[in-house]
């Protein structure tokens, strides 16, 4: 299941405050926790992210203190657990990296998940619970979940897809150079190292977002190479920087959109780069004339590139503008079967 579909299902289920705890499985960096953050932000809910790998059992249970009235010990709950007065009446508590946490921490988390309470603390009624973790095949620390607990959860396994990722990346302004490069090299969106000894930096949706944040800090993209390498690994970084250098050779996007040039690149890498640059420029300045020139330009490309250009324009929320063009409506009628998310 890809992230977009998983988010749709989670949104439906989370509308019910009594929904069972849900477990998101998937390799590192595919966006498990990001999905939950997006849902809470869109709903205006509170969000508490418990990174269980970083906690000790006492961090969840709290610390005992003497109750002079009962002459027994009560438990002082940790301040990071949600309370209505501070965090809101509704929200999601995410038990992140639950499969990587030490056994004793897992046991404490399981008590809160199953009973909605631990020690003296009781989870507010409007708060839902979601857990997330890596699978055994992901080469990280992974402890098997006890069957009785697993049977009390609804499980989703996330996979990675460039088309699905772009539904998030393009509207959220991820650098067009990153998107264009991944259109050209989609297999590099996610590539986990084959050998455990190699696991340092590797490409993933999360690490490409790091690259997006890195690039504005460097006036010259070549200077960013060591940092990009530290985010996605040496091989992908080398290819990405070379791709960015090549961008200097493509026709100027504004000149195409303003009708000053009709030059069309020939090589696939330059076509991918040009499409990304055009969508980036068109998103910042939309006029009927520029839309017409965009469509006129992509109409000169092979159909596979036309489909990519239209799909990415749709993801950039340009569909409403494009449908005003008669030529675009005719094109869509002929290619509906190959458009992704254009309906």
* Per-residue pLDDT tens digits for 35-70: 999 999 999 999 999 999 888 888 888 887 788 888
CATH 3.40.50.300 boundaries in the chain: 3-157
Q: Which helix (H) or strand (E) holds 22?
A: strand 22-25
- Which residues of the chain fall short of a pLDDT of 70? 138-142, 195-199, 337-343
The CATH-assigned architecture of domain 3-157 is 3-Layer(aba) Sandwich (3.40)
Q: Are 142 and 97 in contact (CB under 8 A)?
A: no
Q: Which helix (H) or strand (E) holds 94?
A: strand 91-96
Paired with 25 in beta bridges are 133, 157
Give the per-residue pLDDT at 69: 82
pLDDT cut 90: percent of the chain above it: 61
CB atoms inside a 10 Å sphere around CB 194: 9
Give the per-residue pLDDT at 72: 79
Q: What is the pTM of this model?
A: 0.84
């Amino acid at each position: 299941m890809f992230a977009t579909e998983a988010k749709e299902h989670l949104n439906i289920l989370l509308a019910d405050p009594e929904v069972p705890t849900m477990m998101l499985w998937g390799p590192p960096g595919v966006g498990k926790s990001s999905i939950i953050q997006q849902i809470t932000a869109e709903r205006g809910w509170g969000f508490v992210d418990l990174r269980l790998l970083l906690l000790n059992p006492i961090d969840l249970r709290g610390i005992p203190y003497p109750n002079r009235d009962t002459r027994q010990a009560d438990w002082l709950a940790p301040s990071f657990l949600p309370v209505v007065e501070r965090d809101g009446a509704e929200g999601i508590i995410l038990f992140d990296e639950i499969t990587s946490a030490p056994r004793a921490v897992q046991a404490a988390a399981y008590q809160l998940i199953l009973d909605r309470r631990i020690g003296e603390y009781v989870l507010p009624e409007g708060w839902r619970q979601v857990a997330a973790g890596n699978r055994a095949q992901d080469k990280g620390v992974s402890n098997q979940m006890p069957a009785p607990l697993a049977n009390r959860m609804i499980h989703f396994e996330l996979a990675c897809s460039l088309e699905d990722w772009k539904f998030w990346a393009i509207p959220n302004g991820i650098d067009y150079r990153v998107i264009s490069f991944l259109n050209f090299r989609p297999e590099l969106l996610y590539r986990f190292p084959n050998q455990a000894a190699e696991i340092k930096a590797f490409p993933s949706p999360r690490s490409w977002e790091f690259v997006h944040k890195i690039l504005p800090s460097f006036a010259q993209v070549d200077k960013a190479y060591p940092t990009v390498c530290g985010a996605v690994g040496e091989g992908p970084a080398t290819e990405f920087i070379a791709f960015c250098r090549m961008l200097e050779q493509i026709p100027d996007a504004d000149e195409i959109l303003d009708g000053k040039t009709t030059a069309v690149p020939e090589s696939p890498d330059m076509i991918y780069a040009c499409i990304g640059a055009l969508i980036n420029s068109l998103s910042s300045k939309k006029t009927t004339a520029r839309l017409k020139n965009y469509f006129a330009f992509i109409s000169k490309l092979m159909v596979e590139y036309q489909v990519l250009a239209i799909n990415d324009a749709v993801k950039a929320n340009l569909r409403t503008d494009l449908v005003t063009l008669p030529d675009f409506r005719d094109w869509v009628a002929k290619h509906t079967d190959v458009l992704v998310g254009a309906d």
